[in-house]
Structure 1
Amino acid sequence: MIDMRTQPFSNKGFSFIEVMIALAIMAALVAIALPTYINYLSATKKTSAKSNCSEAQRFVSSELAKRAASLAGVTTDAIADLNGGGKRSPYAGNDNIPAFGDTLDKGVVRLSKTNLQALSVGDNVTIECEWSGDDVADSIYYLTVE
């Protein structure tokens, strides 16, 4: 039989102080990394919203150019065409807010007219883009039917 009193004390595992030091180091790393990550996510959403704005401007310009040649094939619902594939606002999370619509919310591109086929020469289409969250358009495009 082994007498435990004669065996040297075996120190297996971590002491409480070692665990606390490791947790303090991890907390410091998280405190440094988290603001950077949040800023990165914010910049990514803003870039996505700006990209949606450019996409709307290019799409409407293209549709108006097609319209100048012929009404055939010109969209009657620009919002539905732009939101194809389930496109959502980068700020909406899992909400069902489209990236393109008729209201001006953060991340949404608002189109003043959606039936581009029904426009007459001289009509204007306004494209407003909002990504700062102040409900004021950050970028506005005015396109005229020729």
Structure 2
Amino acid sequence: MSDVTTPEYLDSKDLPGFHKVLGYEQASWEENEAVITVKLQPHHLNLAGVIHGGVLTSLLDIALAQAGTYCPYPGRMRKAITLSLTTSFTGQCSGGTITVTGTKRAGGSRIFNSTGEVRDDQGNLLAIGEGTFRIRSGSESPEGVPI
């Protein structure tokens, strides 16, 4: 029998620094896919009153990296660094909840590629992204490293 269990997600309020500022919640996370949500707040908006492109890009970066670093072992995690990230902005919104989905598309033992999208709560596409990531040393195996 395996020690693998359904993971308890860490919300950004439980994480340090910029993650806490973004204020996202983990909606789901499984092998090759991660979904995070954010209830937009005034600090997520730009001077025009719509979601800032840097917020969209940062959330895509997190979800795309998570898509390739799922770890089902409690108290452990896998880590990756971003090698490249491309974001295309396709819409705007100024309120509600946005959903960011990342999907791992391809990869080897250390390098992987993911794609993703951001949608508002009406299903409108706000941004799409594609990234290449490298698994950090110690995180190659599904067991990852201690949190």
* TM-score (norm: length of structure 2): 0.28
Larger strand percent:
2
TM-score (norm 1): 0.28
Higher relative helix content: 1
**Which of the two has higher C-alpha Rg?**
1
